[in-house]
Amino acid sequence: MFSAFLHFDISFMVWVILGALAPFIMTDAGLTGENLQVTPSAAITKAGQYTLVVKAADPAKHQPGNVYNLLIKPGAPGVATRSSVKPVEAFVVNNADPATLDAVNARSRLIHVQLGSGAKGNPNENVVPLSPMSTLVAAGHSSQPVANGYPSSTKLTLIGIPLLAAGFWRIMIGILVDRLGARKVGIASLFVTLLPLLLGWQSATSYGMLVCVGIFLGVAGASFAVALPLASRWYPPEMQGIAMGIAGAGNSGTVLATIAAPLLAQRFGWHGVFGLLAIPVALTLVIFTLLAKEPPRTSPPLRAVDFKAVLASTDLWRFCLLYFVTFGGFVGLSTFANTFFVDQFDAPKAAVGLWTWPFIVAGSLLRPVGGALADRFGGLRMLTILYGVVLAASVGVALFVHSFPATCLLLLFLMGALGMGNGSVFQLVPQRFKNEVGVVTGLVGAAGGVGGYYLNFALGHLHDATGTYASGFVAVGAITIIAMATLKTAPNWSAIFSEPSRRLAPLPVGTPAASMD
């Protein structure tokens, strides 16, 4: 159990690293190019005196999409980003209209701005602590850069690449686990996980290279297909929910990445974080190799005809949809959280993880609770309740997306319900597919990763289309309704799964649920 938990925990830390570092990556002028060059005036005499906040057009003020806002607020970013702190200078700028830049330079007593050599469109939303000229000169600079902007769809698509890639890797690794064993495949996957970390550390200097890094980060997301069979095959049916929940709670690695990665990026740069992350992965590789034991095999590896029977099972695809919503929602929102709070509430980039970790903890710690309650009351019954909570909370976030307290409270309920839903889904899976748990967990887990990608994809594209993240949360509610309908319409599931797991026997591969009348 410890080996499964550790493998999952460290792998998840790696898997979500792009999301944790996104506020730094997307505001790195060395990656995106310089949009603006900001030169401080003599009125700025010390660090932390003023902060420049770059904001996109405000739909509430009916600003056109081709403008942006420059706000200069007193204090360091941790203070200046509070809504109660009012700007001492504010400008509406359009880079295509030189007169708006001239107006900034004519009116501001604190900064002088000019377009960067690689300026494209408007700058990215950003929070820039203004440094005195003496500090810049000492570092060999004459101005501070503001990065070119990526549309939300571009930012969130990149964040979602590791989640989508994990879908492919999980299927492959699930097959290998069934044939070679979880321990051997787990060792190999940790070794491969070191590759994207080294690439991110030394070679990630373009968006295309980051996409390549993201594809191989998906191997870490495939840990699901290693850790859960490694844990589940040691325990009887009546303990499947709690066993799978504890092993799956290793996704608490997302919490460590969310908190630590931005703080480390502030100190060592976001490239350096990739290098630092290789250290715990290497240590985990050694520990896993020494401690992990191959679980007892209850059946021979699946043959091609068996795979065909598994794929032909409609129950498999129903589980994929259920997990698409629960795990896709959890990991998708986990990777999105840092970007959301920076964009929506001007959270400081370095400290944003301290804003978002409670939501991820809620989902991580409540996963085994969901499994245990599913063991006690039935997985189907628990999922019905939890999807109702997800629906209400996601629509609530959409309605109150501009309210920080309301958004935080609703996100706690949303992430907690998604985490418990993850445990409840996998309380059901081993009962239905006991002898094929490796390949089935790989397929169902793949659907969860794909769900996380499409959540980010939808949030980004809907934000570009509507100017608000609220539309993305409405989409979360819509797909949840489909999952709820799946629970209600699956043939005989209420008779098969609603009772506690200790009373159930697994169905043979290829047996349709409807045959249990």
pTM for this prediction: 0.83
pLDDT value of position 233: 56
Residues 173, 271, single domain; the answer is yes
DSSP letter, residue 461: H
pLDDT value of position 74: 95
Q: How many CA atoms lie within 13 A of 471 on its CB side?
A: 12
What's the residue count for the chain? 517
Residues 359, 447, single domain; the answer is yes
**What does the pLDDT look like over 68-104, one tens digit per residue?**
899 999 999 888 888 889 999 999 999 889 999 999 9
- Position of tokens 């968006």? 207
Residues 315, 296, single domain; the answer is no
Q: Indicate the residue among 283, 301, 319 that finishes a domain.
A: 301
The band of 435, judged by pLDDT with boundaries at 50, 70 and 90, is: low
**What does the pLDDT look like over 47-69, one tens digit per residue?**
999 999 998 887 778 888 788 89
Residues 296, 311, single domain; the answer is no
Phi-psi region of 176 (alpha: psi -120 to 50; beta: other; left: phi over 0): alpha
- Establish if 98 belongs to a structural domain: no
Torsion, Cα 497 501 506 511, to 10 degrees, reads 0
Of 19-33, 99-113, 495-509, the poorest mean pLDDT is in 495-509
Strand duo 111-115 + 126-129: pairing: unpaired
**What does the pLDDT look like over 262-320, one tens digit per residue?**
999 989 999 999 999 999 999 989 988 888 777 666 566 666 666 777 787 888 889 89
Residues 310, 278, single domain; the answer is no
- Establish if 124 belongs to a structural domain: no
Q: How many CA atoms lie within 13 A of 365 on its CB side?
A: 9
- Establish if 59 belongs to a structural domain: no
Tell me which residue range forms the domain holding 395: 306-493
- Establish if 142 belongs to a structural domain: no
- Establish if 390 belongs to a structural domain: yes
Query: How far is Cα 217 from Cα 15, in angstroms, rounded to an integer?
Result: 5
Q: Indicate the residue among 282, 301, 320 that finishes a domain.
A: 301
User: 506 burial class (0-12, 13-18, 19+ CB within 10 angstroms)?
Assistant: middle
The average confidence (pLDDT) of the chain is 84
**What does the pLDDT look like over 189-226, one tens digit per residue?**
999 999 999 999 999 999 999 999 999 999 988 887 77
Residues 327, 190, single domain; the answer is no
- Establish if 354 belongs to a structural domain: yes
- Establish if 394 belongs to a structural domain: yes
**What does the pLDDT look like over 166-196, one tens digit per residue?**
888 888 887 787 778 778 888 899 999 999 9
User: 136 burial class (0-12, 13-18, 19+ CB within 10 angstroms)?
Assistant: middle
Q: Indicate the residue among 301, 321, 344 that finishes a domain.
A: 301
Residues 370, 472, single domain; the answer is yes
Q: What is the CATH number of the domain that holds 195?
A: 1.20.1250.20
Q: What percent of the chain has pLDDT over 90?
A: 44
Write the CA distances from 131 to 31, 40, 250, integer angstroms: 21, 7, 41
pLDDT value of position 255: 82
Residues 259, 362, single domain; the answer is no
Beta partners for residue 437, in sequence order? none
Instruction: Please state the domain count of the chain.
Output: 2
Residues 263, 409, single domain; the answer is no
- Position of tokens 């098969």? 496
Residues 161, 218, single domain; the answer is yes
Residues 442, 330, single domain; the answer is yes
* Of 126 and 42, more confident: 42
Residues 350, 459, single domain; the answer is yes
**What does the pLDDT look like over 314-372, one tens digit per residue?**
888 898 999 999 999 998 999 999 999 988 888 888 888 999 999 988 888 888 788 78
Neighbour count for residue 366 (Cβ, 10 Å): 23
- Establish if 444 belongs to a structural domain: yes
